[in-house]
Amino acid sequence: MMKKATVKKSAMYTIDLTKIDGDGAFPCPKCGTVISPDDESEEAYQIVETKVKNDDLEELILTCKKCGTTIKLVGFLSQPET
């Protein structure tokens, strides 16, 4: 299956939360700073954009404050609900 992502000149990393163990924290792909989506202090990152679908968070775009890399978080909706 071919799915081309639109790649802009400035690199944007995509993190799939379904592939992350634990509480969803992950190291910045570029500088290694640990970024936790649950960290609302936004000390390590800054939220650029949020996409919401049916009241659920679908996509989160944030910027690493340390190196300025743009990171897209996906996979919020994949958690199984009972």
Query: From CA 28, how far away is CA 33, in angstroms rounded?
Result: 5
By the rule CB under 5 A, 52 interacts with Zn ion: no
Site residues (CB under 5 A) for Zn ion, limited to 6-25: none
Among 44, 66, 70, 74, the residue binding Zn ion under the rule CB under 5 A is 66
Verify binding: residue 28, Zn ion, rule CB under 5 A. yes
Cα–Cα distances in Å, from 11 out to 5, 7, 68? 12, 7, 10
The two structure tokens encoding residue 8: 């802009």
**Side chain identity at residue 81, one-letter code:** E
Using the rule CB under 5 A, is 72 a contact of Zn ion?
A: no
Question: Is 47 or 52 the residue whose CB approaches Zn ion more closely?
Answer: 47
DSSP annotation of 43:
S
Q: Which of 30, 57, 58, 70 binds Zn ion (CB under 5 A)?
A: 30
60 belongs to the binding site for Zn ion (CB under 5 A):
no
